Amino acid sequence: MEEYILISDMFLGDYTGGAELTTDAIIETRRDQISKIRSREITSDFINENCEKTWIIANCMDISFLLKMKIIKKVAKYYFIEYDYKYCKFRNPIFHKFVNEDCACEKESVGKINLLLIAKSCGVFFMSEGQRKLYLEKFPILEKTKTYVLSSVFSKEILEFFKDYSIPKKNNKWAILGSNMPVKATRKTVSYAKLKKYQYEVLGNLPYKKFIKKISLFKGLIFRPGALDTCPRIVIEAKLLGCKLILNENVQHKDEDWFKQEKGDIIKYLEGRSAFFWDIIEEKKI
């Protein structure tokens, strides 16, 4: 039985974010084969001792430049999951506009090493076609790298919940995600709703299933992120709950064929994402 090393800055339990939820759903069927390690815990000795195993690199911002170089040189086989834009010091090139500059992070050390780490992988998994397109158009170094679109991944339990959940009668309000993260642009979204004279409610932090049930009460979701959002889960969740959607161009998966389908077909697509990932890792699908 093959062993895998999975690296991330944080795991579910440290923080409940979209990347952590997707990572946990990916490893659901391989937990006994996977050794998880936080990126800040990577050492030169760890690389030497595990370089013959297959590595899966998710978020890796706490790995030093020199250790990333060693991973590239020493690890026989590794794959990269790109949740955002790691060539950028802000992890999102649009944020540079807020400080009146263009993103040129690929010319700096952080951008160069992360691009090299991605390019030298056995394959890189993007969250959306829009994200992959941006990378491939901007960086010729990725021309020979195998790239795939994974999308957000949901656990079997959550997908069963969506299948069985009876959507209640909806109110006449629009839901807005309450978040302090700049990418979610809560304040600007509220201003948009006021300008349009929509009834709305900003949703605070709740346990996951309570949050889902809360969203299901609304006629729709307004989600207009202030920067590129590669495959936001809340948009997928709202659609599965029968909500109308008001989105902007920063929602990068919104025009993909799978997302345009009806609930049953979307769930079927999502049910296959983990298997799609592992078929590539285990070289059943190249």
CATH superfamily, domain at 4-150: Glycogen Phosphorylase B; (3.40.50.2000)
- The reply to whether 156-270 shares the fold of 4-150 is yes
- Give tens-digit pLDDT for 29-77: 999 999 999 999 999 999 999 999 999 999 999 999 999 999 999 999 9
Domain 156-270 belongs to what topology? Rossmann fold (3.40.50)
Instruction: Annotate the chain with three-state secondary structure.
Output: CCCEEEEECCCCCCCCCHHHHHHHHHHHHCHHHEEEEEHHHCCHHHHHHHCCCEEEECCCCCCCHHHHHHHHHHCCEEEEEECCCCCCCCCCHHHHHHHCCCCCHHHCHHHHHHHHHHHCCCCEEECCHHHHHHHHHHCHHHCCCCEEECCCCCCHHHHHHHHHCCCCCCCCCEEEECCCCHHHCHHHHHHHHHHCCCCEEEECCCCHHHHHHHHCCCCEEEECCCCCECCCHHHHHHHHCCCEEEECCCECCCCCHHHHCCHHHHHHHHHCHHHHHHHHHCCCCC
Domain ranges across the chain = 4-150, 156-270
pTM: 0.94
111-120, pLDDT tens digit by residue? 999 999 999 9
